[in-house]
Amino acid sequence: MEHLLLVIAIVILVYAHFSALVPRSVLTAPIIFVGIGMALSKSLGNILTTDGGELLKVVAELTLVILLFTDASRINLRALVKDVGLPLRLLGIGLPLTIALGALLAKLVFPDFSWWTAGLISAILAPTDAALGQAVVNSKQVPVKIRQALNVESGLNDGIAVPFVIFFASLAAVQATSASASRWLVFWITQVTLGPLAGIAVGYIGGHLLEAAARRGWVDQSFSRLASIAFAILAWAGATAIGGNGFIAAFVCGMAIGCSTNSIKPAIQQFAETEGQLLSLTAFLLFGAMFVIPSLESATPTDWAYALLSLTVVRMLPVAVSLLGTKLDFSTNLFVGWFGPRGLASLIFALLVTHQFKLAEADHLITIVMLTATLSILAHGLTAVPGAKWYAHVVNSHTCEDGCEHEPVVEFDVRHHHQPMTMPDEA
């Protein structure tokens, strides 16, 4: 374990020396860390076999807990409902349609899969990761309304997808075990009811207590950061202890914190941009070292076909349907449809689901998800800068009368990973 941690520390230190140069290129941090992981996979073979799986599981769980919590804590529910109709369309219409279409195509492409396994693959690949194409949400040339739609969608759809993932995984496990479907349905209901209850209790009560202490000047700033993340871990561990889902609890806890407090929000954001970023990049490095090359080697033509369909048709068609009636330009439909990268949430979902549930197609599922995410990390990362420039050129030639892309919205940030949103515009 010490040798693996040493390698991770060296990689991060080396990257830090060039980190300000990366946004000026077509490369992204996920591309670099996955690539380094792939390059080191053979030389670290014995170490990864011994310690890699255990470390990756810990990093993956902690990363997902923090990712869900920090994203949800930034939600401004009033602004979201009142002023941000576009993200609501993408989440309320686009996300369910994406899961349904992805499941249908998975069943057609992989006829041996059950419908539950097909739904599970689709649900795992449904969340998007704006960090893979950060130049898009950073570009000041792209209208705020569109940048915010992609950013908010990416920040919330992983938390919304969790119940779907658990549901399909529970029923897919029925065929691989002797347990009855009713037992797994009870398990799912327990997960999605006790999880939110734990999240609400920790977030609402803990948030108010910390807010009251902060108003009295009792809370040191550094401990405000630690306390806020302690809420996420407490919600996760507490929900798991009572039979609920810890990831749903972390997401709901973040939402409760965001609605009940104001003073600790900056602390949560600072944690996401430092410690959270460290965890996510470590996860990308370990995924690259342990899974990418085996997945590429074992992938069949049908796996490649589904991965390409997932990144195009499965994403773009539901987005087009969800945007009907908005009077958005065709270029906007195309742009929003393409920039739905699959990244860290999908990778972590796949890893944790195959660890928790006994699935007959676990290895094949890992291959499909890893292949799709790897293609997305590369394709969306490399096209982010030129894509943002192309779209900005097209849409900024229009006036407000031509479409609604330039309509003002209340600007607030949800996802904020890998690079600060205030970074100079490079797109």
Q: How many domains does the structure of the chain reveal? A: 1
Residues 6+ apart with CB under 8 A from 204: 256, 260
Does residue 426 lie in a domain region?
A: no
Q: What CA–CA distances, in Å, run from 370 to 147, 295, 351?
A: 27, 6, 10
Task: Between 338 and 208, name the one with better pLDDT.
Answer: 338
Residue 310 has pLDDT above 70, yes or no: yes
Residue partners of 290: CB distance under 8 A and separation at least 6: 37, 41, 48, 52, 53, 56
How many CA atoms, within 13 angstroms, populate the side-chain half-sphere of residue 149?
32
Q: Any idea which of 133-147, 246-260, 380-394 has the lowest mean pLDDT? A: 133-147
Residue 300's φ and ψ, nearest 5 degrees, are -95, 170
Lookup: tokens for 71: 């994203």
Predicted TM-score (pTM) of this structure: 0.85
Q: Does residue 405 lie within any of the structural domains?
A: no
> What number of H helices and E strands is found in the chain?
22, 0
- Which residue, among 391, 373, 379, 389, has the nearest Cα to 334 in the 3D structure? 391
| Other residues' Cβ atoms within 10 Å of the Cβ of residue 324 | 11
Determine whether 128 is exposed, middle or buried from the number of CB atoms within 10 Å of its CB (0-12, 13-18, 19+).
buried
In this structure, is residue 19 part of a structural domain? no
Contacts of residue 84, Cβ cutoff 8 Å, sequence gap at least 6: 148, 149, 152, 409, 410
The domain of 263 spans 2-10+27-395
Region label for 408, one of left (φ > 0), alpha (ψ between -120 and 50) or beta (otherwise): beta
Pick from 276-280, 334-338, 365-369: least confident: 276-280
The model's confidence at residue 107, banded by pLDDT at 50, 70 and 90, is very high
Q: Is residue 160 part of a domain?
A: yes
According to the model, what pLDDT value does residue 143 have?
83
Q: What is the pLDDT of residues 337-351, one digit of tens each?
A: 999 898 888 999 998
Eight-class DSSP state of 51: I
CA-based nearest residue to 97, from 327, 365, 317, 323: 317
Q: How many CB atoms lie within 10 A of CB 211?
A: 16
- pLDDT of residue 54 exceeding 60, the answer is yes
Any domain includes 403: no
Per-residue tokens: 276? 């959270």
Of the pLDDT bands very low, low, confident and very high (cuts 50, 70, 90), residue 165 is very high
Q: Nearest CA to 311 among 363, 228, 402, 375?
A: 375
Q: How far apart are CA 122 and CA 92, in angstroms?
A: 16
Residue 427 to residue 422: CA distance in whole angstroms: 13
* Amino acid in the structure at residue 381: G
What is the structure's pLDDT at 413?
53
Answer whether residue 106 is part of any domain: yes
Determine, yes or no, domain membership for 420: no
Which string of DSSP letters, residue by residue, matches 83-151? Answer: H-HHHHHIIIIIHHHHHHHHHHHHHHH-TTS-HHHHHHHHHHH----GGGGHHHHH-TTS-HHHHHHHH
* Buried-exposed string 149-181: b where 16+ CB fall within 10 A, e elsewhere: bbbbbbbbbbbbbbbbbbbbbbbbbbeeeeeee
CATH of the domain at 325: 1.20.1530.20
User: Does residue 346 lie within any of the structural domains?
Assistant: yes
What CA–CA distance (Å, rounded) separates 87 from 89?
5
* % of the chain exceeding 90 in pLDDT: 33
Which residues are within 8 A (CB) of 314 and not within 5 positions of it... i.e. 6 or more apart? 98, 101, 102, 105, 122, 125
